Amino acid sequence: MRSSKSRLTALAALVTIPSAALAYTAVAPFPSTVSATTYYSSGTYHGAVDVANSRCNYWGAETGVSATVYWNVTVRTSGVVCNGSGSGNQNEALLNLGSGWSFRQWHWIKTSDSYDRTCNRCQVGNLGGTGNSTGPHSHFQKDQYGTKNTSWYSSYTSKGEALDRGELMGYI
């Protein structure tokens, strides 16, 4: 009986490990090219990875993390938006990592697969440009209480790199 209780205690301890301590694999949601990383071409700080394939409404933007984690999907637009619709109204898939850490994917277009929900490695819409954007792309950002963190991709992804669907962008 004592060994069973010890095993249960050990399993319970595993459940309390903060999710931010775990490393998840961030992958490209569709065939694309990395169009921006830490800085935009203008030299302005960006602190995220943007991937694009220049085909607005391209089928199949899925949440870009390979793991058993759950995304909060929020749809703020309707219709096809390819070249921006203003800051604050981008569609978003949000992964809460705990301790103030989050990972976000923005700018996809609403489709029949797009609705407010919680899901794991799900299709959220098509490639788009909702929110504050100048063209169709997906934006991936890790932050803690709003401060962007670039370490998740800095050794794995570089501007101009071609990516296949499911190819590694970094670890969060």
Q: 133: domain CATH number?
A: 2.70.70.10
Domain assignment present for residue 15? The answer is no
Report the number of distinct structural domains present in the chain. 1
Q: Which of 30, 21, 26, 5 is nearest to 152 (CA)?
A: 26
Per-residue pLDDT of the chain (172 residues; tens, 9 = 90+): 333 333 433 444 444 334 444 578 888 888 999 999 999 888 999 999 999 988 888 887 777 666 667 788 888 888 888 888 887 788 888 888 889 999 998 888 888 878 888 887 778 888 889 888 888 999 999 999 999 999 999 999 999 999 998 899 999 8
Domain containing 141 equals 22-171
Domain assignment present for residue 50? The answer is yes
Q: Which of 131, 153, 11, 126 is nearest to 60 (CA)?
A: 126
Domain assignment present for residue 13? The answer is no
Say what the pLDDT of residue 171 is. 92
Domain assignment present for residue 77? The answer is yes
How many CB atoms are closer than 10 A to CB 83? 12
The letter for the amino acid at 85 is S
Say what the pLDDT of residue 90 is. 86
Distance from C-alpha of 110 to C-alpha of 1, rounded to nearest angstrom: 54
